[in-house]
């Protein structure tokens, strides 16, 4: 609404306001959503019965990620996580290592834009 009447406590209405350059320090929702990604990973090896899901959830929560981890019937573990690419890459490094008793042999990954459907990270069952 520039230029427009400005209120000057000493002079009252009627003074012409000079527009001030405005800068937005907040990213738009579209930009923020573009920065968030989804990582899907299938982890194989000795990854069930070794607290792999517990450690994965703990790592994801520390990184501020949302999504889930679950055992698969074939003995693998499936992870779907959303967050910044940097934090997802940290989780991916953890998935290659696994919990202390785990022996990871392979991690297959898929990347896509975040779905924004998760509010927290949880352990799911089959």
Among residues 71, 93, 103, 124, which one is catalytic?
71
Domain-embedded: residue 15: no
Catalytic-residue membership of 73: no
By the 8 A CB rule, do 17 and 5 touch? yes
Task: Quickly tell me which residue has 């991916």 as its tokens.
Answer: 92
pLDDT at 125: 86
Structural tokens at position 72: 């698969």
Is 71 designated active site?
A: yes
In a domain, 126, yes or no: no
- Catalytic residue, candidates 53, 57, 103, 120: 53
pLDDT for position 30: 46
Residue 44 belongs to some domain of the structure: yes
At 25 the pLDDT is 42
Return the pLDDT at 126. 74
What pLDDT shows up at residue 117? Answer: 97
Give me the number of domains the chain comprises: 1
Q: Which residue ranges of the chain lie beneath pLDDT 50?
A: 1-28, 30-34
């Amino acid at each position: 609404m520039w230029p427009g009447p400005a209120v000057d406590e000493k002079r009252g209405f009627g003074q012409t306001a000079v527009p001030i350059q405005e800068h937005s320090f907040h990213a738009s929702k579209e930009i923020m959503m573009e920065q968030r990604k989804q990582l899907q990973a299938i982890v194989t090896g000795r990854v069930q019965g070794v607290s792999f899901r517990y450690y994965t959830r703990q790592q994801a929560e520390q990184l501020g990620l949302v999504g889930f981890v679950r055992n698969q019937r074939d003995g693998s573990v499936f992870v779907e996580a959303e967050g910044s690419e940097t934090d997802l890459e940290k989780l991916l490094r953890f998935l290659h290592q696994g919990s202390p008793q785990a022996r990871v042999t392979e991690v297959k990954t898929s990347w896509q834009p975040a779905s924004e459907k998760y509010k927290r990270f949880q352990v799911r069952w089959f």
